[in-house]
Amino acid sequence: MARIIWKGAISFSLVHIPVSLHTATRANELDLDLLDRRDFSPVGYQRINKSTGKAVEWADIVKGYEYKKGEYVALTDEDFRRANVKATQTIAIQSFVRPQEISAQYFETPYYVAPDKRGQKVYALLREALRESERWAIGSVVVRTRAYPCALIPQGHILVLNTLRYADEILPVDAIDAPTDSSRKVGVTAKELELALKLIADLSEKWDPKQYKDSYRDDLLKRVEEKAKKGQAHTLTKGSRERPARRSAEIIDLATLLKRSLAAKSSRPSGRAAGRRSAARSRTHRAGMRRRA
């Protein structure tokens, strides 16, 4: 189900439409684990303090901006909201343009725009006005911690908001080696162009996104099955399961990570006893590493 990521309003001139923004896409990538090639134990992801070299829990992490070399200002979610309250709650429409005027490289991420119960009528009015005028509404929106240009696009019975890239984010095409002269100047004959146009006409059809499948993902899964049938699958050894890295690799989501971290913190001994136990564990670990080596 589409997740609500933002609540606010569409605003232009004196028009105000209460809406919410919903995710419109999902990744369908093959879920691959990172493994240690020596024993095929999963490799966990850790956030490391660059000064101490120790792992940092999510609860202790804040966002900061380095405004001067080595000096940071920490920013909270409230700071992002209060920087410009109106901008974070409004899809501010600035103009209306023809769709063909926006180059493909400007499009970034689509979202579904759903009307609040109070805004059904005005939402429908804007949707139909955009459709009849054959225009898209162009404005700005803040999603999470960043402002984006955006396009409001009528699609069926809903409006789709597509965030856009800024002009200075689009790399120049000067370095791309493509013919700048007309096709005739680079040797394309009238007959070749005629055949190309005929081929395009023969292959032209109505756009149907459902006919496109990720066949590469299926092919990759078949490859996995083939390797497994040939006995090329690797089972973790008893020793590798006992390695400390394995425990962190088993942690799948943030909620589990936090619960285990809190449990470990509450049961952790303090004072000199903790220091003695930690030192003993370190000596045991080093001795084990030397024996394996």
Q: Which pLDDT belongs to residue 249?
A: 41
Do the domain assignments include residue 156?
yes
Same domain, 76 and 143: yes
Same domain, 73 and 39: yes
CATH of the domain at 226: 2.40.290.10
Do the domain assignments include residue 180?
no
Tokens of 292: 């394996």
Q: Alpha-carbon distance 148 to 91, whole Å?
A: 10
Same domain, 72 and 97: yes
Nearest in space to 139 (alpha carbons), one of 113, 168, 170: 113
Do the domain assignments include residue 42?
yes
Q: What is the pTM of this model?
A: 0.62
Tokens of 129: 């006005």
Q: Please list the alpha-helical segments (H only) found in the chain.
A: 77-82, 85-88, 120-133, 190-203, 215-229, 238-241, 244-249, 254-267, 271-292
Same domain, 159 and 62: yes
Same domain, 101 and 218: yes
CA atoms within 13 A on the CB side of 125: 8
Q: Alpha-carbon distance 165 to 106, whole Å?
A: 5
For 121-159, write each residue's pLDDT tens digit: 999 999 999 999 999 999 999 887 788 999 999 999 999
For 98-119, write each residue's pLDDT tens digit: 999 999 999 999 999 999 988 8
What is the domain extent for residue 100? 1-47+57-167+214-235
Where is average pLDDT lowest: 35-49, 166-180, 218-232, 249-263? 249-263
Same domain, 3 and 133: yes
Q: Which pLDDT belongs to residue 239?
A: 52
Same domain, 161 and 105: yes
Same domain, 147 and 278: no
Do the domain assignments include residue 241?
no
- Our count of domains for the chain comes to 2
Do the domain assignments include residue 205?
no
